[in-house]
């Protein structure tokens, strides 16, 4: 059994080697016919001259090879014509392949008791691999989509979480190989339905909700601070905002620090007068930061004020002022990291 397998393996090697070099070694003889047990892409061509074999191959496979391929998926249809793929079928060259393979086959007698060996040669078909890759890439771009994570959306009057969405993808490399194989072998299917692989979003709405327990929005033109808990509005407060020369900054910020009876580090600014660059201890009558401080950005924060009449006006140097009783109540409900939207 081992010797028989070895003989068959050697015979196969000899056929491969002969097939590779024979065409350059000996041209077809006039009237020479293809040996027995030879097929081309499964089509029997034994006993035919190369001209007859070429005609049979063209009649059997030519029309199919000149048809394109298509991809159907997710309600979409994509087509690639043979022209786009630059398909070139050479029936005569294929017939010569069969002739040369038959010569090698006839020179290799079958092992004792074994059935006569046969050989099947591939069709001589040329295609543009780059065109096939571009087609597979176009299908991939049309069918694939990136996953979408849930996000926290904040407006002045509403806080909500967007829904996540799974993405999808196809193996466009494998698709390209399948298309290329079908374009050169008429026996293969020419309609493909690539598998759509689901790609889950990394962040879902439940995860976002857990991190959005508290949100603050500040509407400067109405002097309103709104507190949201669990994505729902809980309370609105009247505030003062920055005057025209020192406007309260706009954007999305976060509570960065919290202090009870904060020390006031007076900025070096002309409006600070002789206090510029100094520090005023918390609780001092000269300290405008009353009761509580919630830092937002740089020297801007939310704090209590002793000037209650300024609430509802543009009066501060950029900070958000609140009544003392309001800032104390808010302070206890706002953790560090709370998003703050200012518009």
Catalytic site residue from 163, 303, 317, 323: 303
Reading phi first (left if > 0) and then psi (alpha if -120 to 50, else beta), residue 245 is in: alpha
Query: How many residues appear in the chain?
Result: 343
Which DSSP string do the residues of 110-170 spell out, in sequence order? Answer: PPTTPPPP-EEEPP-EE--HHHHHHHHHHHHHHH-B--B---EEE-SS-EEEPPPB-EEE-
Q: CB-based burial of residue 313 (10 Å sphere; 0-12 exposed, 13-18 middle, 19+ buried)?
A: middle
| Contact yes or no for 194/73 (Cβ under 8 A) | yes
Reading phi first (left if > 0) and then psi (alpha if -120 to 50, else beta), residue 127 is in: beta
At 329, phi and psi to the nearest 5? -65, -40
| Contact yes or no for 188/182 (Cβ under 8 A) | yes
> Residue 303 catalytic?
yes
Query: Within 13 A of 79's CA, how many CA atoms are on the CB side?
Result: 5
Q: Which whole-number Å values give the CA distances from 204 to 161, 162, 199, 209, in the listed order?
A: 9, 9, 13, 9
Residue with tokens 């040996």: 35
Give the number of other CB atoms < 10 A from CB of residue 132.
24
Q: Which whole-number Å values give the CA distances from 263 to 65, 184, 279, 286, 300, in the listed order?
A: 84, 81, 7, 11, 14
Q: What tokens were used for 102?
A: 């038959």
Give the number of other CB atoms < 10 A from CB of residue 163.
11
> Residue 317 catalytic?
no
Catalytic site residue from 163, 172, 317, 319: 319
What three-state secondary structure class fits 78? strand
Residues annotated as catalytic (active site), given as ranges: 303, 319
């Amino acid at each position: 059994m081992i010797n028989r397998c070895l003989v068959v393996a050697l015979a196969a090697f000899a056929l491969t080697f002969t097939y590779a070099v024979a065409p350059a070694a000996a041209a077809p003889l006039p009237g020479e016919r293809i040996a027995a047990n030879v097929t081309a892409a499964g089509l029997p061509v034994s006993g035919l001259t190369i001209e007859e074999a070429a005609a049979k191959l063209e009649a059997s496979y030519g029309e199919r090879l000149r048809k394109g391929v298509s991809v159907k998926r997710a309600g979409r249809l994509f087509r690639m014509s043979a022209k786009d793929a630059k398909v070139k079928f050479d029936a005569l060259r294929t017939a010569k392949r069969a002739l040369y393979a038959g010569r090698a086959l006839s020179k290799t007698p079958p092992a004792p008791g074994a059935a006569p060996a046969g050989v099947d040669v591939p069709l001589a078909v040329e295609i543009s691999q780059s065109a096939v890759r571009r087609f597979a890439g176009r299908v991939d771009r049309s069918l694939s989509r990136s996953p979408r994570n849930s996000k926290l959306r904040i407006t002045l009057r509403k806080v909500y979480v967007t829904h996540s969405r799974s993405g999808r993808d196809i193996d466009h490399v494998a698709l390209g190989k399948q298309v290329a194989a079908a374009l050169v072998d008429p026996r293969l299917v020419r309609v493909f339905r690539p598998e759509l692989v689901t790609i889950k979003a990394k962040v879902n709405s439940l995860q976002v909700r857990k991190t959005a327990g508290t949100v603050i929005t500040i509407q400067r033109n109405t002097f309103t601070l709104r507190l949201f808990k669990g994505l729902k509005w809980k309370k609105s407060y009247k505030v003062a905002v920055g005057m025209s020369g020192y406007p309260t900054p706009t954007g999305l910020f976060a509570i960065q620090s919290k202090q009870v009876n904060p020390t006031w580090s007076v900025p070096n600014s002309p409006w600070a007068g002789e206090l510029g660059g100094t520090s005023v201890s918390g609780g001092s009558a000269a300290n405008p930061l009353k009761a509580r401080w919630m830092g937002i950005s740089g020297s801007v924060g939310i704090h209590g004020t002793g000037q209650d009449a300024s609430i509802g006006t543009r009066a501060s140097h950029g900070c958000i002022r609140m009544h003392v009783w309001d800032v104390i109540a808010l302070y206890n409900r706002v953790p560090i990291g709370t998003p703050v939207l200012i518009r």
